[in-house]
């Protein structure tokens, strides 16, 4: 009887873990360039939050102006 109860308990434990795993939704990250003519961090962050509810970043290379890039959850937009 104890062996049967142990097997049933193990089965339900595995079943409950499998159900929880299938409910997890991975969020994809997207990015959008908001401004290519320069970047002020405060303005970039504000615009990104307003448009996409994301995080604005100033990025750029060695030469040329910085770009305002917004990184956000694709599912939320």
The residue-averaged pLDDT of 25-33 equals: 82
Locate the domains of the chain by residue range: 2-76
Condensed to tens digits (0 to 9), the pLDDT of residues 31-73 reads 999 988 889 999 999 999 999 999 999 998 677 889 999 999 9
Q: How far apart are CA 36 and CA 28, in angstroms?
A: 24
**Does position 21 have pLDDT exceeding 70, yes or no?**
no
Confidence of residue 28 (pLDDT cuts 50, 70, 90): confident
Q: How far apart are CA 70 and CA 72, in angstroms?
A: 6
**67 by DSSP, 3-state: which?**
strand
* pTM for the predicted model, two decimal places: 0.60
Four-way CATH pick for 2-76: 3.30.30.10, 2.70.40.10, 3.40.50.850, 1.10.357.10: 3.30.30.10
């Amino acid at each position: 009887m104890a062996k049967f109860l142990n097997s049933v308990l193990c089965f339900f434990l595995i079943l409950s873990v499998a159900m929880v795993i299938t409910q997890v939704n991975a969020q994809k990250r997207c990015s959008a360039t908001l401004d290519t003519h320069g970047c002020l961090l405060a303005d970039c962050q504000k615009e990104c939050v307003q448009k996409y509810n994301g995080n604005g970043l100033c990025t750029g290379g060695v030469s040329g102006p910085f770009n305002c890039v917004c990184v956000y959850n694709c599912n939320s937009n």
